Structure formats: structure tokens, C-alpha cells
Structure 1
Amino acid sequence: MKSNKKCFHKKVKFDGDSDSLLTPCFQINSDVVLKEIPTTGEEYLLRVIKEREKFSTVSKCDKDFSKFAKNQSCFVEELPHSKAPDNLRPTIEWQNIQVADFSDVRMYVSRMLSKKALWPDDVLKLELNPNNIPAWKNLFEKDPKLSCVLGLHSAMLDRGLEILTEILDDVKPGSTLDHKIGQWIYAFLACTRPPLISDTTSILRNLARKCAEIRSHLDPDDESSKTAAVPLNIFICLVSRYFRQYDLAD
């Protein structure tokens, strides 16, 4: 069947002396005069062409980077990530179990978030100044409850997890994190909202690196170190495999 549609092809003639493949899309009559305020389509096109001629075809950055301070960089410097001793490194099977269990907890939290009308009254009563460190630490001395974390918005979740990571700086070499602090970290991770923004990702990576650092100070020859490494391995596993920071994985 023969189509009735007409095709119009633009004939392009290349100039061998020109080093440009740019060709005009519209032809403007030579009688068109450049006006301050165009009144026709051709006058408007002529004005656009004249304004474009004021700029170079290829733009380049002319900033003098030598004026930057020596301690400034356009790149973010990654902190080192301590590797696990062979006898403290978790198996991939163990890590898969942790990710599966954590996924179930996250699913439960998601269902709770979708039913705010059914929340108990104490969920929405937690109010903290994000910069009040003593208030945060006072909260973390209590037993962690889902009602204390579920009502926090993303920025507060990030801030709480950031402070929990800073608390890990107090862990002495050869020791592991406090059980209650570990429960709080797990609760904050379970309530962290997707999709992750860059700040949240940075906090999660800092947590994994801090846990790896604490683990690196455990005595691999001490039988109790295997138990001490468990919570550290869990958080490294969740950050790397659930939150997809795979370069930090064991």
C-alpha cells in the first residue's frame, strides 16, 4: 500500500574548507533587519543568531585553581577501612541470614509507618534538639523501643545514628560496643528511610568503618573475640550488603 505522507529532506552541502559540521536549520531572508524588539519570526531568529555570535562555540573553564588553599580538594578523601582477621570474618552464609532477618524487621517497620493512625500515643511525643548531645546520650541510656525511633523524621534519624557512631569512639581497644548501644543502632538502621541521600550514606559508611576499626583491635587468638565481633560484623554486613556499600563488605 502506497503511503500519502510526504517526506522532506534537508540537503546539506559540506564546505571542504570548513572545520565545522554545523549547518543552519533555517534560512533568513537577506532583507530582514535586526530590530530591538522583533515583530516577526525571522526577526526573532536573526536576533538569536546575532546574540549567539557573541559567544564561542566551545566553552572552557578559565578558573585559576592554583589560588585554592593547599588543604582544599575537589575530591572527598575516603577514610581507611580495616579488614577483618581471618578467624573473625563472617561467612557469606551467615551474612545472608543477617540480611534476611533485617529485611523482615524493615518490612514490619514499613507496615507500621503506613498505619500512623494506629500508633500508640508515646510514638509522637519524643522531641529532641538535634544538637543537644547530652539529651541524645540520656536517651541512649534507656532501653531502646520502637516507639522512641519510629516517629523520628529522616534528619533526626541521621543525627541519632551519627551520635551513636561518635559514641563508639569511647570503645577501648580490645573491647566491643555496649549491648544497649548496639540495640539502638539496630533500631535506627531499621527505621532509616529510603531512598538514601548522600548524608545518610556517609553516616552509614562511617558506622561500618568504625565497627571495622573496633574489630581490628580485638585479639584474634582470644576465644571471646569471636563473640565480641558478632555485633560489629552485623553492622558491617548490613551497611555493606543491605544498604549496598559493597566495597566495605567482608
Structure 2
Amino acid sequence: MTSVEDADSLVIPCLQIDPNVELKEVPTTGEEYLLKVMKERQKCVVVTKCNKDISKFAKNQSRFVEEPECTKSAPDALKPTLEWQNIQVADFSEVRMYISRMRAKKSEHKIQEIDIEENHIVSWKQFFEESSPTLSCVFGLKQAYFDNGLEMLTNSLNNIKPGETIGPKTGQWIYAFLACLTLPLLSDTISILRNLARRCAEIRSHIKAEDENAIAAVAPLNVFICLISRYFRQIDLADK
């Protein structure tokens, strides 16, 4: 009889085969098939090694993605508290759940068909300026376009002068795109999100805590840094 300790062992076979089962060239039962598979597996080496010279393929490759250095930290007066960040994540989660429910019912609603060139900067700029980030509009975008759109929005932040912040409409579009991203994220999407968070941190670093509108100016920046780091799990970019 198997003891409790033995039953919890990871080395106990998942499938037991009767010792009387014979090995056949053409299995006719489930146990005969398992026995044949096990015998064939025993003939294989434990570790498979590549016997080809891959140096010529890897010459220009790197195991690591080089990221820009971290931007200097914002003054404590402009950093969000952990409690505030938790509230933003909770609210964002509710928004995403609502969007998920609406997406499941989108056949019942009128959806705008959005036709846009994926990598055409002028087309994206015109789209963001002339359209509003409503669900009917966002649902009209192909999911494959979201990375392009987020990247265009991130690049547009390069035009923000020191001391200024993200405009309301740009902020709405960024939030809408973040809310509509599907999980799990692709590696390219993660890279774009990290660039966005770093850009927001850089913009925030130029805002002085003593400025009259400093708190309002850093609000959207703090939101995006928070969501990317806390909700999308890029924890190393989070405000501590």
C-alpha cells in the first residue's frame, strides 16, 4: 500500500502499467501504447545538444535589450502615495472589465470601421486630432494597430517642452489604448509601455514642485507610470 508520503512524491509515475503487458510493434490497447512510448523514450538522450556552429548567426545578436538610463526621480511632493496608486489600479481594473463586457456585445452596437495606415505618422496624427476615444471608435481599430497607436502617442510626447505636461486629449487616448490592450502582452507591447512610462517620468522630472499647477500637471503622468508599473507589472519603473 502506498503511504501518504510516497503519494506526494514527484517521482511517482503518473500512469501505472501492468507488468504483464507485452511490448508490441502495433499497440492495440492504451497500456500497450504507453509501454511502447516509454520504451522509445528510453532510447533518447537526456539532453539534446546543437551540433551546428551558430556563431555566424549570433555575431550581431545580443541577449539583452539596451534600455535608456532611469530618469532622475521626481520630488517626493509630486510622487503618488501607494494608497493613491492602489486606487488607480482598482479603477483601471473596473474600466477594463467593463470594456471586456462591452467588447463581447459589440455586435449589438454601432462600431466605426477605422481604416488607417499602420506606420503612417501623418495618418495617426490626423486620427488622434479628429477622433474622440469613444468605445465605438476604439473597437473599430484592429488589435494589431494598438502597438502602432501607442508608439505614435509616446513619440508625440517628445514635443512636450520642459515644465509642460500631457494635453487632455492625448491623455484620454493613451488611457483608452491602455484599457483596451489584450493580455498577455507581447514583448513589443511591453517595450512600448516601458518607453511610455520612462517618457512620462522624464516629463515629470522637469516640473517643479513649487509651481502653482504642479499637482495637476503631474496627475496624468503619475497615472500612466502607475498603471504600466503596477497593473502591467513593470515593477522596476514604479514609484516607491
The bucket for the TM-score relative to the shorter chain is 0.7 to 0.9
Question: Unmatched 5+ residue regions in structure 2?
Answer: 2-16, 21-39
Separation in structure 2 between the aligned mates of residue 224 and residue 102 of structure 1, nearest angstrom: 25
Q: In the alignment, what sits opposite 1:242?
A: 231
Tell me whether 1:192 sits opposite 2:178 in the alignment.
Answer: no
* Alignment counterpart, residue 110 of structure 1, candidates 91, 100, 103: 100
Pairing 1:26-175 to 2, within 5 Å after superposition = 62-64=53-55, 68=59, 73-82=62-71, 83-120=73-110, 123-142=111-130, 143-175=132-164
Q: CA deviation at 1:95?
A: 0.6
Between the two proteins, the alignment pairs up a number of residues equal to: 203
Q: Which one-letter code corresponds to 2:146 in the other structure?
A: L
* Alignment counterpart, residue 215 of structure 2, candidates 217, 226, 236: 226
Q: In the alignment, what sits opposite 1:29?
A: none
Q: TM-score, with normalisation over the residues of structure 1? A: 0.72
Q: CA deviation at 1:236?
A: 0.3
Q: TM-score, with normalisation over the residues of structure 2? A: 0.74
With over 3 angstroms needed to count, the CA separation of the structure-2 counterparts of 1:59 and 1:93, relative to structure 1, is: same
Query: 4+ residue stretches of structure 1 with deviation over 4 A?
Result: 5-8, 57-65
Tell me the SS of whatever aligns to 1:141: helix
| Contact 1:90–1:233 (Cα < 8 Å) also in 2 | yes
Q: CA deviation at 1:60?
A: 6.8
Percent identical among aligned pairs is 56
Separation in structure 2 between the aligned mates of residue 195 and residue 116 of structure 1, nearest angstrom: 22
Separation in structure 2 between the aligned mates of residue 169 and residue 224 of structure 1, nearest angstrom: 21
Residues 74-131 of structure 1, C-alpha deviations (whole Å, 9 max, x = no match): 32112223222211110011111111111111011000111122121xx241111112
Q: Which one-letter code corresponds to 1:215 in the other structure?
A: R
With over 3 angstroms needed to count, the CA separation of the structure-2 counterparts of 1:232 and 1:58, relative to structure 1, is: closer
Residues 132-151 of structure 1, C-alpha deviations (whole Å, 9 max, x = no match): 21111111113322211123
| Contact 1:80–1:209 (Cα < 8 Å) also in 2 | no
Larger radius of gyration: 1
Separation in structure 1 between the aligned mates of residue 122 and residue 53 of structure 2, nearest angstrom: 48
Separation in structure 2 between the aligned mates of residue 222 and residue 241 of structure 1, nearest angstrom: 28
